[in-house]
Amino acid sequence: MTPEVITHENPISSYEAERGKPMPSLNHSGIQSTLTGLLWVNYRTEYSIFPELSIKLNGESFTPDISIYPKRKLNWQQDARSLAEAPLTTVEILSPSQVIDTFQTKFAAYFAAGVKSCWLVQPFVETIFIFTPDGKIAVFHEGTLTDPANGITLDIGEIFAE
């Protein structure tokens, strides 16, 4: 006789329900902060860098960890809770509770809306994958990351520095 297996689903937090993704871990948060800072320091005159910005693309809501847009001027007297305009690039950081398969559908939706590149950051193996709409995947584990869609280059060692 097979023993009964009892599972208990963890309740979904308001963060997870609102953003459609798990709550970030310490490493996730550290990488997000580092990447946002490096992008801002090196590319703030060319691009607008938005962490945790809600976007609505083709009727679906998403909250990438980082969205990279062509440079735009912000109006401090007029705010928006989300944007309907696709970013040039999205950055998603894999949380410990996520599986890579969850990004296949998300990236397909991003590309269908006009996103030019999607980064998938895997902190555990200190690797960044850059996906483009043509199905190509560039893998960066050391050296210099170069995104062919936007010309951004970053030192992998700086991203995963201790």
- pLDDT tens column, 133-150: 999 999 999 999 999 999
> Once rounded to an integer, what is the mean pLDDT over residues 79-85?
94
Q: Does pLDDT of 6 surpass 50? A: no
pLDDT at site 98: 81
How much is the pLDDT for 57? 96
Q: Which residue has the higher pLDDT, 133 or 13?
A: 133
Residues 155 and 131: their CA atoms lie apart, in Å, by: 18
Q: What is the pTM of this model?
A: 0.85
Average pLDDT estimate for 89-106: 89
Q: What's the average model confidence in pLDDT over 124-132?
A: 96
Q: In what order do the strands lie in the sheet with 66-70?
A: 47-51, 66-70, 89-93, 117-122, 127-131, 137-140
- Answer CATH for 14-73+80-159 from 3.90.1570.10, 3.50.50.100, 3.20.20.450, 3.40.50.2000: 3.90.1570.10
> Cα separation of 34 and 122, whole Å?
14
